[in-house]
Structure 1
Amino acid sequence: MFQILFISFVACLLTWVYWRWLRVRSYWAERGVPHLPPNPILGSLTFLQKQNAGVWMRRMYERFKTPYIGIWLFWRPALIVNSPELARLVLVKDSANFRNRFVSGGAADPIGKLNLFTIKDPEWTNIRRRLTTPFTAAKLRILQDFIRSKAMELAQRIKVEQKSRIHLKKLFADYSTDVIGTSAFGVACDATLTGRSHLRTVTEQFTQFSVLRGIGWCSMFFFPETVDFFRFKFFPKTSTDYFKRVYRAAVAQREAQSHDVESKDLLDVLLKIKKESEEQNLGYSEDFIVAQAAIFLSGGYDTSGSLLAFMTYELAYYPEIQDKLYEYLLEAKERNGSDVFTSDQLADMTYLNYVIKEGLRKYSPMSWLDRVAADDYKVDDKLTIKAGTPVYVNGVGMAYDPDYFPDPDKFDPDRFTPENEQNIKPYTYMPFGEGPRICIGMRFGLMTVRFAMVAIYLNYKVVPVPDMPHPVDVTVEKRGMFYTPGEVLSVEFVPRA
């Protein structure tokens, strides 16, 4: 009798699962949305651990030249937006309905759950407003002398190591870690010259993607419900523990100083938030405060380091662009009387910024933008998505669309001359996002990259080395979510006469 009941139960369960699967599989077909048939387990996510999400987004865009595509995150329906008009609606006009990212950390991981990148509204709005202070143009000018000195150290490091194959991503990550570590938190760092520092140990662990950590990140971005069950962490536990110690030491040192000075950097702002939380009983824990520091360090060092690596590699294969950049910088140096430029001067260097803009078009670190609908949303006259539906704005797909950017695989800074830039369709170029959730560290990141570019290209010419892939064949990191090099990239640095 028990066996009969058990068999009946299993049969009913399998029947229900099969019926449920048929409903899932037909979801987008019933709504007339272009899609590929889903995998019974992974849905549309069969690329995970085999291909970078940004590369997959680009391939999906090329396969479906339609305003949107239906996909499945396992069995959950989601939408990819390929249209600049729809991108504007999601990111700006109707952003009130798309305030939150879909990505999320778990309750057991406060550092991963409570940072500015993953935190949900209304907490996000409050913390975003509080964190804007150190990223104003006026505040960033205070940091320019320090960042310039680190860029000069970068040129010195290259001089010492130029006869060996330099790992570009590591070189620039050493530099960007120093810049962020000291300018944001007052932590003394010397990785730019030596390749080693306490804080660099932390950032190296941030981007070490084992199979397990890769699965954890995939869960946070595409299936957050599993994060708590498997206790996945946004950052490795060893690195967050170490970072907490570094943070506490920096806090103790800062608190021993005068409390009446104006906030200058991110650490000052975080200390102010911590003090107000204690005075007003706002409930901001130490983990909450550390989470903001951790995400700024993690996001800032990796994005700037990757962009510099990709651009340096590209310029080695485009000597005519590199020579034009050198001549431009040399003329600026002669007009200035030295190579000691201010951040405002760098921001006004047109050709330098054309090169950086083109680097950001091809290698935007966050090549797609995730949001989740708070309420049912009418996409167009044919489609309404349900509340809770994840939406992915396919920035990388549009950035490589030849209708918007002819010959998109070519590295061409002239796309951004005034006469050409005015023809770029709005919301096809969004390296820092758009709308309320535009990258808070945009100015800081650009300043970091500009100083490094000037220090390098006034002093060195870069040329390809044997056995390295052409830029279009470079592997992108498969286990991470951001668009970063997935292999060692090297060039030869030849000193300028």
Structure 2
Amino acid sequence: MFILLLSMVTVIFAVWVIIRWSKVKKYWKEKGVPHYSPNPIVGSLTFLQRENPSLWMRKLYNDFKGAPYVGIWLFWRPALVVNSPEIARRVLVKDADVFRNRFLSSGKTDPIGALNVFTVNDPLWSSVRRRLTVVFTAAKLRSLQPMTMTKTKNLIKRIGDDSKIGPVKDLREICTDYTTDVIGEAAFGITSNSLVSPDSIMRRVTREMMAFNVHRGLSWCSIFFIPELVDVFRLSFFPKDTMKLLRKIFQTMVAQRGGYENPIKEPRDLLEALVKIKQESTDDEMTEDVLLAQAAAFLLGGFDTSASTMTLVLYQLAFNPHHQERLYQEVLQAQNKSEDEYLNTASHPELTFLDAVIKETLRIFPPMGWLDRIASTDYKIDDNLTIPAGTPVYVNGVAMQVDPEYFPEPEVFKPERFLPENERNIIPYTYMPFGDGPRNCIGMRFAYQSLRQSLAHIILNFEIHALPGSTKPNNVHMEQKGLFFMPDEKLSVQFVPRATQTVL
């Protein structure tokens, strides 16, 4: 009897699966939306752990050239990839209230991963985001300049010392030491000396955050594409051992500044801004987990993306000596005009070519080139398609940024595209390395400030030479197990001290 009952249940389940799968695989065809044929298990996600998602997004864009959107499946869940700047504008800005939340999320078993400003949704997101903006005002960023300059001096000394031995074998390692020091100190208020001591406590944290083994890769794949599995398998956005250490650091620094009861009028950094948020909270919503989640997200979202961008800027300049020379002349002129003992890049808006070099690098290598949202209501994409509430939507910025229709000769490194007289000609919403709309990157201005400062002083002090036989920038291999668009091979260059150095 039991065997008969089990057989009947099995048959019923098999029939349900067949019927359900039949509906799933016909979903986009019936709506007239172009699409790849889905895999019966993972849908469109066959690239995971084998190819960087940004490269897959570019392939999808080219395979369906001219299509304003393409249907995909996140396992059996239909989702839409947007390839049109006009639709991107509506999703990210005009109708942002419909697409206020991200699809990616963590779970109850991972409070730090689930509660940070990157992953959390409304209503907590609006509350946290509004209160954190105080840290990123122009005045607050100016107050961080002395700290950033101290780290920049350490960076110049480190490059000089390493270059005496020979070529720098891992450019990203040095850049990550720098961004760890800058962002670690800004976020946690702890003195970080990774450039001097690579085994510093904050560098240990960021090194663990950068490590992507199979388990961590699967955790991120679940958080980004099938969040329902997070609680089932107790997955986490951050490495769990790392978060234990970060919690101790956070608690120690809060205690050193007088605890949560010490009144704070004007926060000096992110740590004090978080303490002030808790002090002003009228309920129990702002727990220590919420505060720690923001500091951890700022660290993760800042140190690695900034280090990767900085690495690729320097690598591009090594292969483009004419751009490097033009940049050197610009920053040298600004330095000669400066009344400070060092070049304060924040006070020199005329560094337009430096900005253009950074922006062009971000055009080719945006760390997070696809932007996910989820529709809160049924939404009319155009006259041919309305998506139901709950549909994930991905804006394919990483592909639009290398479309020759928008950026002629997209494979060529041309900073001139972003000079003031040319930038105004760029079609809106074809360039979005920091996202756009209410959920754009909150740390964008901080990232630009730290990149400007470090890159300007490196160029003032060193010539950068490509090594014979090195991988060309456009052929750099990108991470497969991680989801950000970053190199996973060691990039080497030769730094040659200039005759007259600015920072020693």
TM-score normalised over the length of structure 1: 0.97
2:432 to 430, 433, 441: 430
Kept after mapping to 1: 8 A contact 2:82/2:395: yes
SS at match of 1:79: strand
Partner of 2:277: 273
Label 1:426 to 1:133 Cα distance change in 2 as closer, same or farther (>3 A).
same
Tell me by how many angstroms 1:137 deviates. 0.3
Superposed CA offset, 1:103-137 (max 9, x none): 10110110000000011101100110010101000
Aligned residue type for 1:100: N
Label 1:283 to 1:343 Cα distance change in 2 as closer, same or farther (>3 A).
same
Partner of 2:144: 143
The 5-angstrom pairing of residues 94-493 of structure 1 reads 94-162=95-163, 163-255=166-258, 259=263, 261-277=265-281, 280-336=282-338, 340-493=342-495
Tell me by how many angstroms 1:466 deviates. 3.6
Superposed CA offset, 1:435-456 (max 9, x none): 1011111111100000010111
- In 2: Cα distance, 1:481 partner to 1:330 partner: 38
Aligned residue type for 2:226: F
Tell me by how many angstroms 1:188 deviates. 0.6
Tell me by how many angstroms 1:276 deviates. 2.8
Tell me by how many angstroms 1:340 deviates. 1.4
- In 2: Cα distance, 1:140 partner to 1:418 partner: 23
Aligned residue type for 1:45: L
Kept after mapping to 2: 8 A contact 1:333/1:339: no
Unaligned runs of 5+ in 1: none
Q: Which moved more, 1:333-342 or 1:21-30?
A: 333-342
Kept after mapping to 2: 8 A contact 1:52/1:479: yes
Partner of 2:502: none
SS at match of 1:455: helix
Tell me by how many angstroms 1:185 deviates. 2.4
The structure 1 segments of at least 4 consecutive aligned residues displaced by more than 6 Å after TM superposition are none
Superposed CA offset, 1:379-434 (max 9, x none): 00110001100000000010010000011111110001223212110000011111
Kept after mapping to 2: 8 A contact 1:276/1:282: no
Instruction: Give aligned-pair identity as a percent.
Output: 51
TM-score normalised over the length of structure 2: 0.96
Tell me by how many angstroms 1:184 deviates. 3.0
Aligned residue type for 2:103: F
Kept after mapping to 2: 8 A contact 1:144/1:343: no
Superposed CA offset, 1:194-221 (max 9, x none): 3231011111111110011101100000
Partner of 2:56: 56
Partner of 1:17: 17
SS at match of 1:228: helix
Kept after mapping to 2: 8 A contact 1:141/1:343: no
- In 1: Cα distance, 2:23 partner to 2:341 partner: 65
SS at match of 1:485: coil
- In 1: Cα distance, 2:200 partner to 2:278 partner: 27
Kept after mapping to 1: 8 A contact 2:167/2:495: no
SS at match of 1:99: coil
- In 1: Cα distance, 2:274 partner to 2:134 partner: 11
Q: Which moved more, 1:211-220 or 1:267-276?
A: 267-276
Tell me by how many angstroms 1:11 deviates. 2.3
- In 1: Cα distance, 2:339 partner to 2:276 partner: 41
Tell me by how many angstroms 1:61 deviates. 0.8
